[in-house]
Amino acid sequence: MPQLVAIDLEPSQHFIDSLHRIWDVDNIAVPIDHRLSTHQKMQVIEFLGIPRVIGPTLEESSTSVRPTKLTENIEVGDALVMLTSGTSGQPKGVIITHDCIETSSSLSSKRLEIDPARDWWICSLPLAHVGGLSVVLRSLYAKTRISLFATFNPSSISELTGHGANLISIVPTMLSQIDLKPFRKVLIGGSRPPQGLPDNAITTYGMTETLGGIVYNGQPLESVEVDVLASGEIRVRAPMIARSYFDGRQQLPIRDPNGWFNTGDIGAIDAQGSLTIVGRKSDMIISGGENIWPSPIEDILSQHPSVRAVGVCGVDDPLWGQRVVALIEVVPGTRLPSLEEIKSLTREELPPWYAPKEIVIVDELPRTSIGKIRRGALEQTYRRYHAH
């Protein structure tokens, strides 16, 4: 019977070799973030019930964890189990099949016009996250050259572009640290990218459940259907959507009976069929009866020269129900922005009720391991600073 096998390795050729080794005997790979503590890794292993692990010695060892409903219900054709990023709640296991991988890699490579004789991927994202692993899977499918980094290293990336590396996938926090000009294509995912990107940049929309990006620069990949419900929620139907969830107790369906996956994101499709993302359904702030989305506020405030990073959330307010609060990381050595400056900047482009009623200067915003702001932790961060 196929088994789950965790890969506890940093991004390297050893990781890729281990992936082949697992799949050659029809087992299922579970990438684990090598940067986690031993205790955190064991939590993942116990949560999923993983019986075997390939660790830094490259030997496959047994664990003593109890089987779960996941390990008892593996199906022929299952290839991967990945954890969702958990920006706003408890992570879930996502079960991905070999068919999903082949379809995703094929259609994305087709859109990018991948040529193995020309193209060379750089992977600088963690392989326990779909943004990093999808680069590896795309490279394996198209048989392109690939270079992997255990950590984001701008100088080494720059050196590789001088030798011909021409494709990279990054998140917005990396944009200002590397020169994008040498690349043929730069995929940008993870969160809302800034405005004014160069022509070789492609903003991607996707998630673990879709095995990475399925919408490039607002346009769905071939065979991908995108729809926006009356509520504003985005749903997608595509052949690369994962088979099911595992929540620690049981497997749960990802798609409805008609094959649609409700993403939990809010967006709009314009007359040209281009998709725009507004934010997560759960991110919405209701203040004085008005619906307010954090992302447009963050986009505007990020343009202030003193703002290094910003996260916007709603906190309970006896008058407004919730009030809009901006938590700001300040660029070192610059003047702190005032609340009136922040309000004025917001009101230039957004309705007046979007203007933050409070700002809090923080040392560091809560982030996931790939740099996305953890929205579910913003209010907790706010309260921690207010307790001082």
The 10s digit of each residue's pLDDT in 331-366 is 999 988 899 999 999 999 998 999 999 999 999 999
Within a domain: residue 93? no
Work out the pLDDT band at 57, boundaries 50, 70, 90: confident
Contacts of 27 (CB under 8 A, 6+ apart): 2, 3, 4, 5, 52
Mean pLDDT of the chain, nearest integer:
91
Asked whether residue 176 falls in the same domain as residue 128, the answer is yes
Which amino acid type is present at position 3? Q
Confidence bin at 121 (pLDDT 50/70/90): very high
Out of 172-186, 279-293, 316-330, 355-369, pick the least confident: 279-293
- Work out the angle between the directed axes of helices 130-142 and 13-24 (0-180°, nearest 10): 70
Same domain, 105 and 222: yes
Pairing between strand 185-188 and 167-170?
parallel
Task: Indicate whether 257 and 224 sit together in one domain.
Answer: yes
Indicate which CATH number applies to the domain containing 368. Answer: 3.30.300.30
136-156 confidence digits (pLDDT tens): 999 999 999 999 999 999 999
**Whether 63 and 146 share a structural domain:** no
| 270 and 295 within one domain | no
In terms of domains, do 110 and 229 share one? yes
Contact 223, 238 (CB under 8 A): yes
Evaluate if residue 88 carries a pLDDT over 60: no
d(CA 340, CA 73): 57
Residue 79 forms part of a structural domain? no
Pairing of strands 261-269, 275-280: antiparallel
List the Cα angle 182/107/84 in 5-degree steps: 85
104 plus 239 within the same structural domain: yes
In a domain, 92, yes or no: no
- 257 plus 161 within the same structural domain: yes
Structurally, the chain folds into a number of domains equal to 3
Tell me the two tokens of residue 144: 């392109």
Looking at the structure, tell me whether residues 117 and 147 fall in a common domain.
yes
Instruction: Single out the residue in 258, 279, 300 at which a domain terminates.
Output: 279
Boundary-marking domain end, from 236, 255, 279 = 279
**Domain stops at, among 234, 250, 279:** 279
CA distance 187 to 172: 10
Same domain, 275 and 355: no
pLDDT (tens digit per residue) in 180-211: 999 999 999 876 677 789 999 999 999 999 99
Q: Are 80 and 101 in contact (CB under 8 A)?
A: yes
How far apart CA 221 and CA 95 sit, in angstroms, is 21
Which domain does 215 fall in, by range? 99-279
In a domain, 81, yes or no: no
| Shared domain check, 242 and 264 | yes
Residue 131 resides in a domain: yes
Containing 269, the helix (H) or strand (E) segment is: strand 261-269
129 domain-assigned: yes
Instruction: For residue 290, give the 3-state DSSP assignment.
Output: strand
Task: Please tell me whether the overall predicted TM-score, pTM, comes out greater than 0.85 for this model.
Answer: no
322 and 294, same structural domain?
yes
> Is 231 among the domain residues?
yes
Q: Is residue 187 part of a domain?
A: yes
Q: What CATH number is associated with residue 168?
A: 3.40.50.12780
